[in-house]
Structure 1
Amino acid sequence: MTWFRIDDGFHGHPKVVELSLEAVGLWALSGSWCAQYLTDGFISARTVRRFGGSSEATSELVSSGLWIETDDGWQFKDWSDYQPMKEEVEAERSAARERMKRVRAAKKGVTSPDVRPNDQGTIGGGSLEVRVAPPDQLPPTSSPSSPKKGGAAKRGTRIPEPFIVTAEMRAWAAEHTALVDVDRSTMKFVNYWRAKTGQAATKLDWPRTWQNWLLSDQEKAEARPKRMTPTERAQQTAAAGRRVGGMQITTLALEET
C-alpha cells in the first residue's frame, strides 16, 4: 500500500481556497491513483475522464499551480517534494520482501532461505507476519534513558520497520487492555505512524507509544454501552413478565372483594 499524503493545512492553502469542490475532489482522486500506480504524479487524460473530471476542473487546477498540463495529461506540481517516488517505493517493497523471507525462514528453522523473486511482501503494516515474529527471533527492546551529563540528548526516531510486537508486549496488553484486539489495533497504529510526517512522527520510545495507543482503545471500549447477551435479555423479559403478572393478580383479588 502506498499513501497519497495531504497536508493538514491543505484546506487553507492559497492555491486551494478558491477552487471548486469538483476541482479539489478531482485532485484528491487523481493523487490517490498516481500513488497506487506509481506514476510519479502523472495523471492521464483518459483517467481524468473516467473520474468524471470536467475541462473546467482541470483548468482550475492548472491555473492554481497545482497541476502542469502535458501533451497527454497532467503532472502534479512538486510531486517529488511531498510524495514518495516510484524508485523509493519499489526499494522499500523489495526490502520488505527480504524481511518477510527471513521471518518465514526463521519460523521454519532455515538459516539460508531460498530467495525467489515472486515472493510477496508488504509495507506500511499491511501484513502482521512482517511485524510479529516468534519470541526466540526477537531483538531485545530497551526503554529510553536520560542522557548522561555532558552527553548529547537522545533523539527520536520514526517507527521501526518492521514494528515487532514481542511476547512481553502481548502479555502486557492481555493484562491492561483486555477489550482490545491487539493485532487490529497494532495495524492501525503502524499505518498511522507510517503516514505521519514531520517532527511529530518521531518518538523516543515506540513500545510505550504503542502502549498508550492500546490504552486509548481500551478506554473507548470501556465507554461503549455494554451489550446484553441473549440469556440476559431473556432473564430481563421474564422478570418484567413476573412484575406484570403480579399486578394482574392483585387487581383480580380486589375485584372479587
Structure 2
Amino acid sequence: MPWFALDDGFDTHPKVRKAGNAAIGLFVRLGVHATKHLTEGHLDGVIVRDYGTPATVRKLIAVGMLHEHGHACPRCPQPVEDGFVIHDYLDYNKSRAQIEAAREAARKRQNRGRESARRNREARDSAANLDGNSRENDASFAPNSRENAPRFEDSPAGHEGVSRRDTHEGATGVPSPPLPSQNYGVADVGGDSAGSGAHAPRPDGPSADLAPIDADGFTLTDAMRRWALQTFGPTVDIDHSTAQFVSHYRSTGARRRSWPDAWQKWIRDDAKRAAERANRPQQGAFLVPLPGGGQNPPPARRSTTDERVAGWLALASGDDTP
C-alpha cells in the first residue's frame, strides 16, 4: 500500500502558512486520493470540488500547491480539461510504474514464501507418514519374527546327561575350549621335541576330578631326564623344576596339546635363568683379603655336586647302579 509523502518541514512552509488550515486539509485529502488510485498527482474536477469548497480550492491554486488546466508551471504536467494536478507530486511520491513494480516484487516474494511453506509441510507430512508406516511394519514384524524364530531344544549338545564342565563344580575358569588329551611317546635324546603322541581319551571314574595336567597323564620319563642332562648338564635340578612345572599347571587348570613339549620349554627357561645367575658377580667377589685376616678359617662344607653329577652321568649311560 503506497503512502502520500509530506516533507518534515511541510507544516512551516510559507505556502502552507499562507493557505491556512482548511486549504491544507483539502490538500492532504487530495494527495491521499491521488496516491491511492495511482494517478501520479492528477485529479478529477468532480473529486476536487466534492472534497473542498471553491474558496479552499482557490487558495491552493493561488499559493501554487494545486494547478488547474492551462497552468503555466514549467515543472508540472498539464491536467485534462476540468481537471487538476498536485504541484511537484512525483518529486516526493512514487510513480504508478514504481508502485506496480514494488507490488509485483512483493507478490513474488509472498508466493515464494507460500511455496516454501507448502514444501515444508509436505516434507513433514511425508516424514510423519513414513515414520507411521515404519512403526506399523515394525509392530507387525515383531510377532512374525518371534513366530519364525528357530526353536532350540533345551538339551545337552552331542551327549546325554550333563557334562562335568556344565556344572559349577567342574568349571575350571579357563575360557578356551578343552583340548583332547594325549598319550605321549617321548623322542630320543637329541630330537627336536621332548615328546609327541596320539590323542588319548580323558580319564573317567575316580580320576575325573584331577587337574588337566594330571588328567592328561603327564609323567617324567627316563628319556626326558636323559635329554635334560645331556642338553643342560647339572645346571638344572630336574626333579625340582618338574615339580614346579606340575604345580603351576595344576593350579591354573590349563591344557596343552603336548605336555612334554611344554615341559621341555620350562626346562630350557630354568636352564637360562640358572646360567644368568651363574654369570652374575657373587657377593664378595671383588673383596681383597687383608693380611692377618684370620689364622683358623672354618672348614669347607662338603659339596654334593660331584655326587649328583655322577648320578646323572650314570643315568645317561643307562647304568642304574649307584
Give the TM bin, normalised by the shorter chain: 0.3 to 0.5
User: Which structure is larger by alpha-carbon Rg, 1 or 2?
Assistant: 2
Kindly indicate whether structure 1 or structure 2 has the higher relative contact order, using CA contacts under 8 Å at least 6 residues apart.
1
Q: TM-score, normalised by structure 2?
A: 0.33
Q: TM-score, normalised by structure 1?
A: 0.41
